[in-house]
Each structure stands twice: as C-alpha cells, then as structure tokens.
Structure 1
Amino acid sequence: MHTMWKGTISFGLVNIPVKLHAATENKDVKLRQLHKKCQSPIKYEKVCPICEEEVGNDDLVKAYEYAKNKFVMLTEDELKELQEEQTDKAVEIVDFVELQEIDPIYFEKSYYLSPNEGGAKAYSLLRKALQETGRIGIAKMIIRSKEQLACIRVYENTLVVETIHYPDEVRNVKDVPNVPEEAETPAKELDTAKMLIDQLTASFDPEKYQDAYRTSLLELIENKKNQDETTTAKDKPTATNVTNLMEALEASLDQAKGTKPAAKEKAVKKDEPKTEEKAKQKVEKKVTKPKTVTPKKKQTKKKA
C-alpha cells in the first residue's frame, strides 16, 4: 500500500512514528471526451484570455482573489516556508472525546495508520488504550499542504485517521431553503411509519450494498468490446522533412514567379530614360548642326 505521509503522533510523552495510507479509493468509471468527427481525445489547454496564447506551468503563478479581478500574489518560497513551519511539528493529540459526540457531517476522508520503524510498541499501546476507554483522539496534522483537523480511532485492529471539517467549513443548516416547520402528524401515520422502519431494520452489512450504476456501465462497456464496437484514435500527423522541403520549394517558386515581372518592368523603366535621352540628342543634332554646303568654284573658259 502506497505511503502518503510519514510523521510522528504524540500524546503526553509517548511518540509514535507512523506512516499514512489512503483507506478509500474512488471507483467511479472515468469516461473520456472524444471529438465526434475523428474520435480523438479532446485536449484541455491553459490559455490566457488576454494574450490569447497557451500558458505552460513555468509561466503560472499563484494568487488569492480578494475581490473581483483583484489579487494578492504569493510566491512559491512564501508558501513553502509556511508549509515547512507546520510540517516540522509532530501530530499531537490534544483531546480525547466520545465518537458519538461528533456528527457524521464533519467527517471527510479516512486514512490507515501503520507503525514506522521502531513504533510498533507505542502503536499497540495507543490502540489498546483507545479500545478499552472507547475514546477517540482529536489532533491536527498537515496533509497535502493543508492543515487538517483529524480524529484517531481504532478500526478492525488498525489505527485510522479520519480528517474532519473545521466548524467554519460546515455551512449553517439555517441557510437551507424551504425546510418545513414542525407540523401536526396524525398518530396513525406516525405509527405506520415506525412499523415500516422496524420491518426494514437490520444489522449494517456493507458487503450487500453495491453501486448498481457502475456495475451496469461496466457491463455495457464489456459488451461493446466483445461486439467490436470500438474505435481507435488517429495519430496526430507529423510534418516530415520531405513535406517541409516541398513546401519550401513551392514557396520559393511562387516567390520567384511573383518577382520576375517586377524585375522586367523595373528593367524597362531603367532603360526608358536612356532611350529618350538618345532620341533627344539625335533631334538636337539635326536642329543645331545643319548641313553646310560648300560653294562650287566658278570655272573660267580658257581663251583660245
């Protein structure tokens, strides 16, 4: 059985090194939620509503909300220091009371206690003393970073810790709505109800009580498995190097296609001024430099 906690329980001058084990377990059938379209398990992510990005555990901090959207930040070191202050203290039994004095509404969760090394004798002493006096011990202890009020009693030759709620954790029964006041009850109806209770009275045998819904649900699941009414979640597609390479090549090709016309257009625009300039120069040459005609020499006739 898994050990949840190790410590020391003391009453008077007696110290008992003990181990704590969970006495109960949740037998609820856990159902997963799948995407109806592809039968894949739904993933729950922590997302910041302001930044709209997924937040990892390293980016989380703890805080107490004392008013709407008003927080007091608490560091891990501060919380750890408080826990260590309480954990270092031994679990001390402060009172012994009658079990019937505690209403069941206060009980929360049960844990088995076993003696740690060297604690068997003291463990047996406390067990025997509780059995013969019919008392239970009231103590305080730290379980999973929370200070718990607890009672220590004997259950089938084993010491058991029952964590119990603090008084301020139990809601006021006067706040329950629509509870009728005392009313006159006909004697005949009351006698009939008492007779029915007497007929149904029996010794408590927990073995005869079963969770009918859980049993039926497990049977339904097993029948569906046997009839091959099952599904397998699809593996998440992973990008391969080939796919990445093809995507890169296609993107490069698209980019090249988009830049070529622009380059040609740019080249044409660069050439245009040169062409216009040359044309202007040719015109200017025609206008400013007209052709010069050299006069012909007059020919004189020789006398005979």
Structure 2
Amino acid sequence: MTNELTQFMWDVPECGFQVAEVQRWLGQKADDPPQLFLTRATTGDTYSAYRYAPLLAHTGLFKTFAATEPAPDGILTFANKYGWLGAESLLIDAPAQRGERLSVWTTEISRMRRLVDLWEMAERKDIKALRQHIVWYDNEAVEFRHRAPPMETYAWVASAQINADILARLTPGDVIEPAYYYLQSAINQALKGKVSPGMLWDEGRLGLYQVPSSLLGAMWLQFAQAIDTGPEFRKCAQCRTWFAVSLDASRKSRRYCSDACRAKAYRNRKQEKTA
C-alpha cells in the first residue's frame, strides 16, 4: 500500500484560495440559501498550480486534517497548503468557476476527527472514554454514539437483526472490540467511491494498486494504512503538523517531519543565540 500513497499526486493552485458567499451553483435546489464556498483566489483563463505528492511529504496528513478547525480560517489554512479536498467540484456563478462547499469540508473534518479519536481510544485501551461511545443494551445489541456537535452520530455496531454474526463474536460489555468493528465499517464506507483498484507503472512493471481519486480519498487510505501498520505519530517540533515515526528503532527519536523543518529549527536556534 505504501506505493499507492507515495505515487498519489495532487495540485495546489499557485494563486491560493479564498472563501466566498455564492448565490448560485449548478445543481442548486430552488430553496437552497447562499452558501460559503472555497474558490481560487483569482479567476481567469490562466491556471497554474504546483503538483506534489502530499502523502509522501506528509505522512500524518489524515491526523492534521482531523485536527483542522472546521471553520473558514482553518479550512483556508489547510487548503492553501495541501489543495482542494476533492470531495466535490461544483460549477458556480459570478464569476464562473469551480468551488467546494465549506459545509462539505466541515462534515468531512468532523467525520475524520470522530474516527481518529475513536481509534486512538481503542489503541490506548481507554475504557472510560470508550464507554461514552460504545453502549451495550442488555447484552443483545451494541451501539456507537457520538454526541459532540456539529455531527451527532448513532449507529448500530451489532444486534440480533444487524450484523448478528459479529454480535456472536463479541463479549457483552466489552467496548474495545466493538470500537474496532465500528471503525472497520465506517472507514470502509468512507473509502467507497474515493479509492478504487487501478494499474500503476512502478519499478519497471505494471502492478495492481488501490488508487485514490482525491485528496480526501488518499487521506482515508492513509488512515486505513495507519490502522493496519500501527506507526507512532508525533507533532513536528517546528511546524506542528503530524508525521509518522519510522518503525526503524534508529529513527524513533525524530522530532521533525522533514529536513526542511529540521534546518529551519537549526537556523532559529542560531538566531536566538546571536540575538
């Protein structure tokens, strides 16, 4: 799976982004009020962007996304660094261009945050915290619940009518295994339509890979890989973004996400000493 993530390329418009209130867009319903959209900061026929491999440079990007403030400033900061989310591309009017609704961004941030938090609780075996989200009913059904705004969620993990085979494998009262079953279901659902099998040229031959169709899909694939391989994640001491710490024992002491951040931190220390 590593190759899928490192080969994934994405564009960031060089002009950057802005948040604008849009009155009309393609597919708008008659009673839809104006909405805030993420659009390019400049319009016109000329379009320039830089292409990069976001998940090669940002190995903890899904955690950075989950930690993004689901508000215009937070979304702008993320988009200006990493690009369009890619969950949608709507044609908007005045001026004519494409954009993404901020409501979609906030929904996706909240969903990623909810599942990352649940995963981390399960990995820590934080029973007290998990009991706020995994609820048993008379040993006959178990539910996932998340009551924090803006996205309250209630979903059956297993019952006699839903996933009865899973219910038979669970120990009544246990909250860890049901949390993983819910993660399995929710992440599989999130991957649908965003990641699909495809052929990629790699190391002199064609191979079959799981290929993301958008930055959002790539982040869900990165999250799934993290659950599969279990790396430790750490915040960069310089830029404060998340990165995966290598499983190689010799590199577990890393404090920076990149050579650029390490060099910048070194320059900052030198300036402080000479000040």
Shorter chain as denominator, the TM-score bin is under 0.3
TM-score, length of structure 2 as denominator length: 0.23
Larger Rg, first or second structure (1 or 2):
1
TM-score, length of structure 1 as denominator length: 0.22
